[in-house]
Amino acid sequence: MNTKAAILAGLCCCMLQYASSQYYYYNDTYYDKDFLYEINVSGGAMNALTDIGGQSGQGKGFLKDLNLSATRFCGSLSAGFLYRYTLGLKINCAYGKVTATDAILRDDKSDARHRYNRNLNFQSPVMEAAVLGELFFLQALSNITGEKKLLCSPYFIGGIGIFHFNPQANLNGNLVALKPLHTEGQGFAEYPDRPEYRLTALTFPVGIGLRYDLSASCHLRFEVLHRITTTDYLDDVSTQYADPVLFNKYLSPENAALAILLSDRQAELNNSHKTQPGSIRGRSNKRDSYFSVELKIGLTLGRERR
């Protein structure tokens, strides 16, 4: 080997050793491995975007139709791993509640007045399990340039999950489960285009986050996660009013009486109102969704003392 080749090989070895050392040593006390493991617990807020409630005027997309007053507490527990602070994979289990009411538009004089007159409300628990992947994009750039590990690192997050819900309506202070009432004639032979919905559906979470190391064994995360779902019945509202006569045909007398009361509640505000079967109750062109904003605290496992 000639002198120039030997010098070049030596420089390459030094550069590789330098780059790898950025990950090998966490600080004067600990060093890292390629894979680190995490356990996180969190608390935060959850809200939903459905057919019920909303902002003034015509129905809008995403956050433009959000009512902050419907925000409720949520929490989650997750466990996963990080590869060189760049790629992550975790299992996340979350619990929360979503709710909305047309009564929020009581004083509205815009085109949204028809939603207030519809007079529907709902609330539902949400139980979710998801597999989520993470990309720490700035850390990935730092890896390429050979910079040190970032103590505070933003990331993109996305994945797939499954969630369970159970829409309920408030009737005289009592919560009534809506699915057994077939409020829009779901599953009735007269409405073949309205199949009975399930209380478990797929969800596709996407979002952003920020991770900050408090110490070698503890970290914080701030995470915003939006869930795109495969159901339009999170709020039990999707399409048109059913013929109330059919409730007595298909349901028990008790459920039929409840279905007549809760499928069309406009008469509660206007005794003279008569709803025509087939008139619009909800919009089926958009699936329901929900999202959370959470602060997570977690343990980092895998670092060892030097």
For residue range 20-29, list pLDDT tens digits in order.
444 456 777 7
**109-143, pLDDT tens digit by residue?**
777 788 889 999 999 999 999 999 999 999 888 87
Query: 292: left (phi > 0), else alpha (psi -120 to 50), else beta?
Result: beta
DSSP 8-state symbol, 181: G
Structure tokens, 141: 């750039």
How far is it, in rounded angstroms, from Cα 127 to Cα 247? 30
**279-299, pLDDT tens digit by residue?**
999 988 889 999 999 999 999
User: What pLDDT score does 20 carry?
Assistant: 42
Tell me the average pLDDT of the chain.
Answer: 88
φ, ψ of residue 64 in degrees (nearest 5): -70, -15
Radius of gyration of the chain (CA): 26
Helices (H), 27-186: 113-118, 137-145
Residue 239: partners with Cβ closer than 8 Å, 6 or more residues away: 184, 194, 281, 282, 284
Residue 293: partners with Cβ closer than 8 Å, 6 or more residues away: 44, 45, 223, 224
Q: What topology is assigned to 19-305 in CATH? A: Porin (2.40.160)
Encoded amino acid at 130, one letter: A
Q: Would the pLDDT of 15 be above 60?
A: no
């007269």: which residue's tokens? 190
